[in-house]
Amino acid sequence: MTRLFLLLLIVCFSAPLLAVEVRQFAGPEEEQRYENLVRDLRCLVCQNQSLADSDADLARDLRDEVYKMIHEGKSEQEASQFLVDRYGDFVLYRPPFKLQTALLWIGPLLLLLGALAVAGHQARLRARYAGEGLSADERARLNALKNRLGE
Amino acid sequence: MRFLIPLIVFLLLSVFLAIGLTRDPHEVPSPLVGKPAPAFTLSRLDDPLRQFGSEQLKGEVSLLNVWASWCTACRQEHEVLLALAGRGSVPLYGLNYKDDREAGLGWLQRLGNPYRVSFSDPDGKVGMNWGVYGVPETFVIDKRGVIRYKQIGPVTEDVLEGVLLPLIRQLQAEEATA
């Protein structure tokens, strides 16, 4: 009975081990380059996951491909270009700056500038009217209105 | 008039968001459209000793459909593909993607075979070069062997009549040496 229980325990805890991919790297630097890449590339199947996170079949294939290229001594640039050539800029979490992505990159800055312009305008308006009180004529009209509403 | 500005901004934003809602985020535009079809040589599904090479796609407008026996959406489009093959207006090739040969042949035998030729890509390497990320996918290839369109997801009656066939007719009218 105890043996069976132990066996069960082993089976339970061995499953996560199988999920880990064993890869051989020439050194920690190469491993780091691989890790950086798969974390910065996007999986096309589960679109909110990186290649590193995704369990999709295609993600595994693409990780293999990235590993192969890094292991062969290709640069990170070359490896991500390989994927961009096939799947487009979509695979990059950091899309390159070009005409189609210009709004994406400059948009927040434009919004900030717009907001600052509006705030500046408001501040100037407020400053212009801040010093002025009501004229005697205006005060009389205000009081007349107040009295009418009070009745 | 100034009070209209927020309204206008809101309406603009709504229009953009509404357009966004009509788009399917799973349809990632392919960078391969307008480029020569990636070269490959694969063994035929029906006869592994015979090869099929991508240069055989040149010379006429053709469709390349990526399918697999494990793919449920492929079953959805199968009737449409069979009907298309019945008309004989355009050759349809099948890339049997990450599939077991027996399973693939069984599927064709059971459901009918719309393909002129199917070829096996058991490890998905050719699929990767073609930027395949979700089966089924269908490529329209012109006479020069250039990919002109990629349909992601099943070919429905609407897609066939509204998009694929008009494009195919247009490409068939083009000069082969253009």
Residue with tokens 């006429």: B60
Mean pLDDT on B20-48? 91
Verify whether the Cβ–Cβ distance A87 to B26 is below 8 Å: no
* pLDDT at res. B154: 94
DSSP A94: S
Mean pLDDT on B33-37? 94
What is Dmax (Cα atoms) for chain A? 101
Band of pLDDT at residue A24, cut at 50, 70 and 90: confident
Verify whether the Cβ–Cβ distance B32 to A44 is below 8 Å: no
Q: Which residues of B touch A88 (CB under 8 A)?
A: 28-31, 131
Q: Which residues of B touch A84 (CB under 8 A)?
A: 31
Six-digit token string for B68: 């697999």
Verify whether the Cβ–Cβ distance B28 to A88 is below 8 Å: yes
Please give the residue that has the higher pLDDT: either A17 or A68: A68
What does the mean pLDDT of chain B come to? 93
* pLDDT at res. B1: 77
Report d(CA B138, CA B168) in Å as an integer.
13
Nearest CA in chain A to B134: A45
Q: Which residues of A touch B39 (CB under 8 A)?
A: none
Band of pLDDT at residue B89, cut at 50, 70 and 90: very high
* pLDDT at res. B108: 96
* pLDDT at res. A20: 63
Mean pLDDT on A65-88? 92
pLDDT tens per residue across span A103-147: 889 999 999 999 999 999 999 988 887 767 778 888 899 999 999
pLDDT tens per residue across span B112-133: 999 999 999 999 999 999 999 9
**Best to test chain A binding among B27, B28, B125, B147 (most A CBs inside 10 Å):** B28
- Beta strands B51-53 and B41-43 are antiparallel
Verify whether the Cβ–Cβ distance A86 to B124 is below 8 Å: no
Q: How many CA atoms lie within 13 A of B139 on its CB side?
A: 29
* pLDDT at res. B32: 93
- Give yes or no for A65 touching B (CB within 8 A): yes
* pLDDT at res. A86: 93
- Give yes or no for A90 touching B (CB within 8 A): yes
Verify whether the Cβ–Cβ distance A61 to B124 is below 8 Å: yes
3-state secondary structure of A135: coil
pLDDT at B30 > cutoff 60: yes
Verify whether the Cβ–Cβ distance B98 to A62 is below 8 Å: no
- In this prediction, what percent of chain B has a pLDDT beyond 70? 98
Report d(CA B148, CA B168) in Å as an integer.
10
Lowest mean pLDDT among A92-96, B31-35, B118-122, B164-168: A92-96
Report d(CA A67, CA A124) in Å as an integer.
59
- Range of A25-39, A47-61, B53-67 with top mean pLDDT: B53-67
Verify whether the Cβ–Cβ distance A90 to B28 is below 8 Å: yes
* pLDDT at res. A21: 75
Please give the backbone phi and psi of residue A12, each rounded to the nearest 5 degrees, phi first.
Answer: -60, -45
Contacts of A102 (CB under 8 A, 6+ apart): none
Nearest CA in chain B to A56: B133
Q: Which residues of A touch B150 (CB under 8 A)?
A: none
Domains of chain B: 30-173 (3.40.30.10)
Verify whether the Cβ–Cβ distance B31 to A87 is below 8 Å: yes
Report d(CA B88, CA B23) in Å as an integer.
32
* pLDDT at res. B177: 62
Peptide bond into B29 cis (omega under 30): no
Residue spans of beta strands (DSSP E) within A17-73: none
Please give the backbone phi and psi of residue B177, each rounded to the nearest 5 degrees, phi first.
Answer: -100, 10
Residue A141 distance to chain B (closest CA, Å) = 27
Contact B162, B136 (CB under 8 A): no
Verify whether the Cβ–Cβ distance B128 to A90 is below 8 Å: no
Which of A47, A86, A90 minimises the CB distance to B129? A86
pLDDT at B145 > cutoff 90: yes
Contact B65, B136 (CB under 8 A): yes
Contact B92, B171 (CB under 8 A): no
* pLDDT at res. A14: 61
Contact B142, B61 (CB under 8 A): yes
Report d(CA A25, CA B32) in Å as an integer.
32
- In this prediction, what percent of chain A has a pLDDT beyond 90? 39
Report d(CA A5, CA A20) in Å as an integer.
25
pLDDT at B106 > cutoff 70: yes
Verify whether the Cβ–Cβ distance B129 to A57 is below 8 Å: no
Mean pLDDT on B38-48? 95
Model pTM score? 0.78
